[in-house]
Structure 1
């Protein structure tokens, strides 16, 4: 199957946003793997101080995510996205001149605020510049290009960085700042990005009432609250653990440190390779059923890691962890076409920013709670107990997803795809989407 046949047709505005995001992801890939090393080894901060600096990202994001959603509804998502990217550039550049702990906390606060505002604003903007039937595609492609950018940045950094030379780290953080500024320019310059399905006319009164109620309207939406809970649980037991639990198991099993990169490379390559294939495979299927498969695959991943714990040290442990990483990637590619797209399909146009802000907050909560739980378990030598718990949490989301399915409008839950008895695909501009 030709690769170009897998790439969905999206409007130029969507590709412009995705391109900017991929560029900033290259910069993030340059620096993210080395931040702890930079703070502890190069800057000379104690591990506890460096860890506290990293924790600042999660704490600031608890404020930044709702703020980004609110700003997106107040003045449109394009302006908060540009402002967030500019703030991210400022904070990232600040890492290059860190010499005292308060410098690091200041840089972390500014960068975290910018990034946490960007996320809901970008999701709202992407959802608004495409037609309803294209949202599944645009979020899937966005997840793929994000991973491509992160992987590319990590490869470049591996060639440039030298832990013995401060100058190489300074270069990385300045390059990261430049990518954020370039992304801001791409989003800000050129034709204004306007929504394809914005709400006007008769709904203006409802828009005013909803804006006045703000997040109170959002938290009263039972479907969104259930989506939020499912997302928070999956992130806590999934994304938040992947870069913690698997490396710990690998190190305890005697896997050489330089082999750890292979585990993460398999995941990144898997996402890039499988994402567009998964997008085609989930067409015309219920998003909730796809999300159930995601939860089961992540549970399988942790079961495979448990197997690795039980194996004697040797090459078989690495092979088992590589398999677990690939299985995790298979589940990961099913997330973008389901939960983020659902959030934007149930969101009123006038509250799209707040809905995305709330949903993004579920990721932030998961990334804050997840490491705390794993640190407690691993610190007490309860590796297997942690892995069993992660497996159980993933499986526990399956009945919750089924409850969500019962509460969703079937037309909203169905992933756009080929119409029955027709050769028209969901990318065809003449296809109409069933009304909710």
Structure 2
């Protein structure tokens, strides 16, 4: 990486961490705020949460092409302004229509920010440094959310609506800080405005190119199953199973969620060292096996109600295992999307993968909540065990379509460097052989004497 690329990447990561810190103040308390503090009821709170997903699904199909046309920087700035307005609107809104509109603005803004930042990280990294860059982003996101949630819990008071206004104002300010930070970034590969509009057929037909890319389509299917089986269950089916079947208290459920965050923060860079030289498809397949063990452990925790301490420990371990799997995916999935994308369609590919994630996050909680509400907990665990095993199968099938450079660019780069070094050495040896053997130092060197003219 060049010095300019490193400086730009540090600014992006700093702004991203501050934004996650601001979101941590509000995310854990959003349902309580809408339902109880604003006294709009649980149904309205559910509509607000659904609005985030709907807003993201509306804007994401168009964001990628705009990023590829105009560059990620102005798109990211626009997203931060939209998110800041939506966040502040949530804090000030007192009626259902205003709360829903503010949630739509916040959801759309966040949906725009995510692929824009991902594209900026791609531009400010190389194929060999990209895994570490995305791992750092994931680490800072979780650290910011965790610290923000802890501080927000100290400031919030359900009997005082103004305390929530302060929380949303902090989140809004952090979005604006992210926008200001991003606006000052000098992207080393930013295209000129006149060059930003695609002129080749591949770039002008982005969705057609993407859907014709079999590897990317398989990765999107894999991503949907992955987000459905993990992130889509945290706040719905798994939480309901923990409270209703394992019989843990809501406070203990908070500890389990904290264990998930702690596992990510503590293990991220240790895991990175273990996976960055491994084939990406094999790493993803291993995550599927780890999550299979996690879901089996969750299911077993519901079968030992007499040993409450053991059941609680098993459920907390379930959340921790999910965190280990997430830390393995952060340096794997996003860099793989970038390496699959043609140079002029990086924004399109990032946006498409974000769209798949949002679909899974919309379907996952709905499916988990319906099965939990019907008491189908055995079928629920069986479904998620099957999904986790499917992750491993899909990952191994995807590996057959990936090139060595897409599977592990770091190892390929090292092999190329080694071959180049051996080639240089071999070339030097050939030159030395053509020059003939050096004279022996023990033999006298005979030189021809020049005879003076005229003698």
Match of 1:89 among 59, 84, 88: 84
Distance 1:285 1:323, change over 3 A: same
Q: Please tell me whether residue 279 in structure 1 is matched to residue 272 in structure 2.
A: yes
Indicate the residue corresponding to 1:433 in structure 2. none
Aligned CA RMSD, in angstroms, stands at 2.3
TM-score under structure 1 length normalisation: 0.90
Shift of 1:323: 0.9
Q: Please tell me whether residue 379 in structure 1 is matched to residue 388 in structure 2.
A: no
Shift of 1:213: 1.2
Shift of 1:384: 2.1
Q: Distance in 2 between matches of 1:82 and 1:205?
A: 19
Q: Please tell me whether residue 291 in structure 1 is matched to residue 267 in structure 2.
A: no
Unaligned runs of 5+ residues in structure 2 are: 419-455
Q: How many residues align?
A: 412
Q: Distance in 2 between matches of 1:116 and 1:17?
A: 17
Q: Please tell me whether residue 347 in structure 1 is matched to residue 328 in structure 2.
A: no
Indicate the residue corresponding to 1:224 in structure 2. 216
Shift of 1:397: 2.1
Write out per-residue CA displacement over residues 172-218 of structure 1, whole angstroms, 9 at most, x where no aligned residue: 001100000011111112x422328x79xxx9998532232132211
* Structure 1, 307-316 or 329-338: larger mean CA deviation: 307-316
Indicate the residue corresponding to 2:354 in structure 1. 360
Indicate the residue corresponding to 2:137 in structure 1. 142
TM-score under structure 2 length normalisation: 0.86
Indicate the residue corresponding to 2:227 in structure 1. 235
Q: Which runs of 4+ in 1 moved over 3 A?
A: 203-207, 417-423
Alignment of structure 1 residues 297-336 onto 2, 5 Å = 297-312=290-305, 314-336=308-330
Q: Please tell me whether residue 99 in structure 1 is matched to residue 86 in structure 2.
A: no
Shift of 1:248: 1.5
Distance 1:229 1:384, change over 3 A: same
Q: Is the 8 A contact 2:215 2:401 kept in 1?
A: yes
Indicate the residue corresponding to 1:402 in structure 2. 396
Q: Distance in 2 between matches of 1:244 and 1:399?
A: 26
Q: Is the 8 A contact 2:132 2:331 kept in 1?
A: yes
Q: Is the 8 A contact 2:210 2:349 kept in 1?
A: yes
Q: Is the 8 A contact 1:235 1:367 kept in 2?
A: yes
Q: Distance in 1 between matches of 2:165 and 2:89?
A: 10
Write out per-residue CA displacement over residues 385-424 of structure 1, whole angstroms, 9 at most, x where no aligned residue: 111101101101222211211111122111525936999x
Write out per-residue CA displacement over residues 241-282 of structure 1, whole angstroms, 9 at most, x where no aligned residue: 123233222322332222222101111011011111111111
Distance 1:415 1:311, change over 3 A: farther
Q: Distance in 2 between matches of 1:14 and 1:326?
A: 29
Q: Is the 8 A contact 1:92 1:111 kept in 2?
A: yes
Partner-residue secondary structure (3-state), 1:419:
helix
Q: Distance in 1 between matches of 2:417 and 2:72?
A: 36
Q: Distance in 2 between matches of 1:331 and 1:10?
A: 29
Partner-residue secondary structure (3-state), 1:312:
coil
Indicate the residue corresponding to 2:204 in structure 1. 212
